Amino acid sequence: MMTRISLIGVGVLIGAVAVATLDGVRWMPTGVAEAASSDTYRQLNLFGDVFERVRSDYVEQPEDSKLIETAINGMLSALDPHSSYMPPKDFRDMQVQTRGEFGGLGIEVTMEDEVVKVVSPIDDTPAQKAGILAGDKIIALDGETVRGLTLSEAVEKMRGPVNTDLTVTVLRDGTDEPFEVTITREIIKIQSVKWHPEEDVGYIRITQFNERTFDGLTEAIDELENEIPADKLKGFVIDLRNNPGGLLDQAISVSDAFLDKGEIVSTRGREEGDTQRFNARPGDMIDSKPVIVLVNGGSASASEIVAGALQDHRRATILGTRSFGKGSVQTIIPLGSNGALRLTTARYYTPAGRSIQAKGIDPDIEVDQELPEELIGKVTARGEASLRGHLEAEEGEESTGSFAYVPADEEKDQQLQAALDLLRGLQVNSAFPPDPSAGVPN
C-alpha cells in the first residue's frame, strides 16, 4: 500500500515546500504499471551510460545523489510547472506548512525563466511588509544569482534562522534596474481566515486553505452573526483575492458551508476510472443569506474550486477580475526515506463540468482595481497560461489571467466597495442576487 496526497495549488511557500491543495491522505493500491517497451529500456540504458560516463570522466568528482536528484527534477519539470521532486527536508516542511505555521519570509513562489517569481506575498508577513509584490522576479539572494538553481534549492537558500536577514534582488516589470530588498526571517503563523463587520455586512477573508480554514470560517460566521443583528445583516463578502490555494478538503468544506446539495468539484485523471466526485451535504451555514465572492489574478486552484462551485450553483455572485486558471491536481507520493514526488495526476472540474485550466474563472461582475500611480507599468496580469510548459486548456482559447493588486486601504478598494454597495442595494446589477434555479441541476 502507498500513501498518496493530492494537491491543487500554485507556487511554493518560502519556509515550506508545496503550494497547496491536499484532499487529505488516501490509502491506495500502487496499481500495476504497464510493461515498458523495449525502446523504453534502451532509453533507460542510455541514461545509465551517461550517468556512468559523468561519474568516471567529469573534471571533478560529482556527488551521485546530486546527479540523480537533478535528473529527476529535469524529467519532472519537462512535464509541467507543478510536477517536482521533494527531498526529505522539503517534504517535512510541506507537511508543517499545511498545518499553518512555518519559518521563512512569507511569500509564495514558482520558478519561471530560471528566476524565482513571486506568486503572492502572504498577509502580515515580512515579505509583504518589505514591499514584495505579486509578479516580482527574484534574481539573486544575498548577491548570488538564482540562475541554475532548482526551485527547491532557491527555497532552501531563502530559509534560515529566525531574526536573520536575507537580501533579495528584485526585478520588477516597469523598472529600469533591479533593486535590493532586505527581509528579516520570522516564524510565519498563517491565520488563514480573518474577518470583521462592515457595519451591516460580514466580511471574511480567506488567505489560503490550510488545516485550520474551515474551523476559522465557522468561527468567523458565528462571531459576525453575533455582532450584527439578524434583521440588519445584509449578507457576506468572501474575499479570495490573492489566495494561491491550499487543502482540497478544506476548499470542499468551505464550499459546502454555503451549499445545501449538489456536486462541489470533480477530478478526472488519465483513465476513466480515476474520476472522483465530491458532493455537498444538507445545510447552509448562513441560511441562504446573500454572498459575494471576490477574486482576482492571484486567486488560484482551491480558491477557484470554491468560486466555481458557488458560481455554477448560483449560490454566490463572483465579483472582481479573472482568476489565475490552475485547474490541475498534483498528487504527493511519499518515497519512504527519499522524500516525495509531486506529480500532476488529474484535472479538476466545476459542477457544470468546466475545466478552468489555463482559463480561470470569469467573474459574474467584472470590477477592475485601479492601480496607484507608482505601480502603473510595474505589475502585470498573470495566470497559469503564462507559465512555460503549462497543461493546455482542454478546449477553447486560453486566458492570461488578471492583475492581483489589492489596496491596503479598504476605502480605496473598488472591488470590495462594489460588493458592499450591491449587498446594501446602493448598486443594481442583473447578476446579483443570482437565481439559484438557473444553476446546475441537483
Q: Known catalytic residues?
A: 301, 312, 326
Report the DSSP beta bridge partners of residue 337: none
Query: Are 404 and 298 in contact, with CB atoms under 8 Å apart?
Result: yes
Report the DSSP beta bridge partners of residue 111: 116
- Alpha carbons 210 and 428: distance in angstroms, whole number: 35
3-state secondary structure string across 4-65: EEEEEECCEEECECCCCCCCCEEEECCCCCCCCCHHHHHHHHHHHHHHHHHHHHCCCCCCHH
The DSSP element (H or E) to which 332 belongs, if any, is strand 328-334
DSSP 405-436: ---SSGGG-HHHHHHHHHHTTSS-BTTBS--G
114: closest CA among 157, 148, 144? 148
189: closest CA among 132, 246, 108, 123? 123
Query: Are 294 and 310 in contact, with CB atoms under 8 Å apart?
Result: no
214: closest CA among 250, 258, 260? 250
Name the E strands within 172-225: 179-184, 186-189, 193-198, 201-206
Other Cβ atoms within 10 Å of 417 Cβ, number: 16
CA dihedral 311, 313, 314, 316 (to 10 degrees): -60
What are the two backbone dihedrals, phi and then psi, of residue 87, each rounded to the nearest 5 degrees? -60, 165
